[in-house]
Amino acid sequence: MKTSLALLAAVAALSLTVSAEAATKKKAKAPPAPPPAIKYIASPNPASPIGAGAIVPAGSELFFVSGIPGDSKAGDTSAQTTDALTKLSKVLTDNGYTLADVVNAKVYLVADPATGKMDFMGMNNAFKTFFGTATEPNKPSRVTVQIAALAGPGSLVEIELVAAKAPKK
């Protein structure tokens, strides 16, 4: 009788141990939740090269890229915008980012001496070739302002960027 009780107790203890191990393994097999991603908020105007905003989750890495003016030798506002964004793209790449990581842009425009007006359309047309394209679908939020002058003589545009990378696992 004592042997039967001892055997029964041993089987019960083994059963509990196996059940506890199985429960632990089940918990360990569940994959961790993925970190939150950066969410780009679409503009009400689908043709716009900019978005309405971007939600950057806590723990993301931010990269603030100083303003880079377009080279006055590049030409008009459109050409200078292309020049500035090309240079900014290189700064991003050199630091492990791409244009896909840009969440915000600030654009400063000076009136073109030839017309006396800022060339918003020229800047916007060039901007569209960098953001909201088939190869680069993300559209950062953006502000564009006209200013009296830039530090570089003949520069018609200067652009600064904020890029972000969501936290990794």
Structure tokens, 126: 């060039």
Query: Does 23 have pLDDT greater than 70?
Result: no
Mean pLDDT of the chain: 87
pLDDT value of residue 168: 85
C-alpha span between 40 and 46 (Å, rounded): 13
Could you tell me the pTM of the whole model? Answer: 0.79
Q: Which residue has the higher pLDDT, 104 or 6?
A: 104
Q: Which residue has the higher pLDDT, 51 or 13?
A: 51
pLDDT in tens, 124-136: 999 999 999 988 8
pLDDT value of residue 21: 58
pLDDT in tens, 76-123: 999 999 999 999 999 999 999 999 999 999 999 999 888 899 999 999
Contacts of 40 (CB under 8 A, 6+ apart): 51, 53, 54, 103, 138, 139, 140
Query: Does 11 have pLDDT greater than 50?
Result: no
DSSP 168: P
Query: Does 52 have pLDDT greater than 70?
Result: yes
Nearest to 38 by CA among 143, 131, 139: 139
Could you tell me the pLDDT band of residue 35, with boundaries at 50, 70 and 90? confident
Chain-centre distance of CA 62, in angstroms?
9
Query: Does 54 have pLDDT greater than 70?
Result: yes
Could you tell me the pLDDT band of residue 24, with boundaries at 50, 70 and 90? low
C-alpha span between 149 and 109 (Å, rounded): 8
Could you tell me the pLDDT band of residue 69, with boundaries at 50, 70 and 90? very high
